[in-house]
Structure 1
Amino acid sequence: MRKALLYIFIFSLFLTGCNETNNLLKSSDYDYKYEAAKQLYAEGHYNSASYLLQNVLTAMKGSSKGEECLYLLGLTSLKSKNYDAASTYFKKYNETYPKGIYAEEAKFNTGMALYLGTPEPKLDQTATYQAVNQFQQFLDAYPGSHLRENAQQCIFELQDKLVEKQYLNAKLYYDLGSYIGNGVNGNYEACIITAENAIKDFPYTKRREDLAYLVLKAKFDYAHNSVAQKQEERFNDAIDEYYGFLNEYPESKYLKDAKDYYDKTPIAYKRSTNN
């Protein structure tokens, strides 16, 4: 009879919306509300399920259902795309039930919530670093997990986003060129440092060639715009960069453009490399 009443409630909830939810929230039968929330979750009505679970969580604390209730709150938030709330609930679960039956999944889903909430590359990437760190914590805690490959793949994708941010920053510095807001040649120096750091931090990135070409361009332009007493040293550095680029990317899509940069180098500074 109780189960039948529950299904009647769920059906009426679909028909009448929030009024039925509000009526149920007034009930003191927390077990009934909890079962209704689980049924709503099973049916894919995550926002309604989350609303009810939040209402019963305190009452369920300390009971056999309290652990599952907290974990379900994380899941409903994750599936309703409320990623900040999801990560908070999953973290709270791991803090409250470090040896709980959902501890492994909660640890992984904390990372997943952060991963899904990361912004596009042109924006601040603090959340992306947090997501990488969380997945790494998961891998350290559960090295043999069946979710290991999923976590590693997410880390790779997050790293791609971090590299893309670095590439966009380096490209912006290069595009600003000799604009004196960052000092004479400051933008070229910033481009070189940013791109080289990205290559160092993420040596296997798919953006490696693009970053290397940015370094090459910036070094040649840096030399061209330098004062006379600094040009020889900086052109020689740019020439070294050119030959290093040819060696690493003999079939690069940038070969013609790279050669154009080299060909524009004053003859005096080519001599030391050719001899």
Structure 2
Amino acid sequence: MRFLGIGFVLILLVLSSCGDYNKIVKSTDYEFKYKKAVEYYEDGEYVRSGTLFKELVNIYRGTTRADKIYYYYAKSMIGQKDYLMAGHYFRSLVKEFPRSEYTEEAQFMIGYCSYLLSPKPRLDQQVTQEAIDAMQLYINLYPYSERVDEANRLIDEMEDKLVFKSYLSAKLYYDFENFKAAVVALTNSLEKYPDSKYREDLKYMLLKSKYLLATRSIFQKQEGRYSSALDEYFSFIDEFPDSKYKKEIEKYYEKASEILHYQAEQEQQEETNIN
């Protein structure tokens, strides 16, 4: 019975709280509504604070408090994990109130919201690039801010994601044995991210793709493609002389060299016969 009594009291408190909140929502006393919105925000009740601040954005538009309302509304959206809406209002704050006390933080939060929206590496990374650009802009605007180290850390993290995305995209062609497309994608990835931590694997796949593409080519294209594979071999072995792929790629080198040597002998024999 005691527990039933406590539960009943809690239900009454919840109902009373809901009733009080509904009265605040319907109130036309905007100063009171603003005060309660701040209280809800500080208590972590972001849905309630967000609902109130959403209305107050229009009520206080053009006043000296407008930037603060934008700020609290955007932060309430962060609390609700609505990063798209939060980013929108942080952008609006920066645009409409460039001299606000909240502008610097808002500039950082624009990039941070995009960072939070950044998808997994296998998906399109446009938002990730937007986050990098926003964070870099923040660093350029506020080079002495205490948030610069955090901004640089987030940029590094997101650039790693872009590098991994590039690696995965190129590897996909390789895995599906579309070696012509793989050569293009792998080459592009290496050129775009020359310091990639996947560089050895990328160059290995590029060499193997060139070799296997040559083996599957018509006779007229084999010589050029085998020569390209040999060039790739020398580039690889020069950069990674002790690579884990060394034994495997030496077989490609030997086979390509053998075929090119044989083709050269055949061409020389044909020229001799013609003469």
TM-score bracket relative to the smaller structure: 0.7 to 0.9
Q: Which residue of 1 aligns with 2:23?
A: 23
Q: How does 1:1-275 map to 2 (within 5 A)?
A: 15-16=14-15, 19-177=19-177, 187-265=178-256, 267-269=258-260
Contact 1:12 1:20 in 2 (8 A): no
Cα deviations across residues 197-253 of structure 1 (Å, max 9, x unaligned)? Answer: 222222222222222222122111111111112212211211221221122223333
Q: Assess, with a 3 A threshold, how the Cα gap between structure 1 residues 101 and 190 changes in structure 2: closer, same or farther.
A: same
Contact 1:25 1:55 in 2 (8 A): no
Tell me how far 1:263 sits from its aligned partner.
4.3
Cα deviations across residues 67-115 of structure 1 (Å, max 9, x unaligned)? Answer: 1110111222123211110110100000110121111111110011011
Q: Assess, with a 3 A threshold, how the Cα gap between structure 1 residues 41 and 258 changes in structure 2: closer, same or farther.
A: farther
Larger Rg: 2
Q: Assess, with a 3 A threshold, how the Cα gap between structure 1 residues 267 and 127 changes in structure 2: closer, same or farther.
A: same
Cα deviations across residues 17-36 of structure 1 (Å, max 9, x unaligned)? Answer: 65543321101122222222
Q: Distance in 1 between matches of 2:87 and 2:79?
A: 12
Where in structure 1 do 4 or more consecutive aligned residues deviate above 6 Å?
11-14
Q: Which residue of 2 aligns with 1:8?
A: none
Could you say what secondary structure the match of 1:250 adopts?
coil
Q: Distance in 2 between matches of 1:79 and 1:215?
A: 46
Cα deviations across residues 109-138 of structure 1 (Å, max 9, x unaligned)? Answer: 001101110111111222122212222222
Contact 2:71 2:90 in 1 (8 A): yes
Tell me how far 1:161 sits from its aligned partner.
1.6
Could you say what secondary structure the match of 1:174 adopts?
helix
Tell me how far 1:47 sits from its aligned partner.
2.2
Tell me how far 1:264 sits from its aligned partner.
4.1
Listed as ranges, the gaps of 5+ residues in structure 2 are: 1-9, 264-275
Could you say what secondary structure the match of 1:98 adopts?
coil
Contact 2:170 2:189 in 1 (8 A): no
Could you say what secondary structure the match of 1:135 adopts?
helix
Q: Which residue of 2 aligns with 1:5?
A: none
Task: Quote the sequence identity (%).
Answer: 36
Q: Assess, with a 3 A threshold, how the Cα gap between structure 1 residues 224 and 14 changes in structure 2: closer, same or farther.
A: farther
Could you say what secondary structure the match of 1:85 adopts?
helix
Q: Distance in 1 between matches of 2:72 and 2:128?
A: 25
Contact 1:170 1:214 in 2 (8 A): no
Listed as ranges, the gaps of 5+ residues in structure 1 are: 1-10, 178-186
CA RMSD of aligned residues (A): 2.5
Contact 2:37 2:53 in 1 (8 A): yes
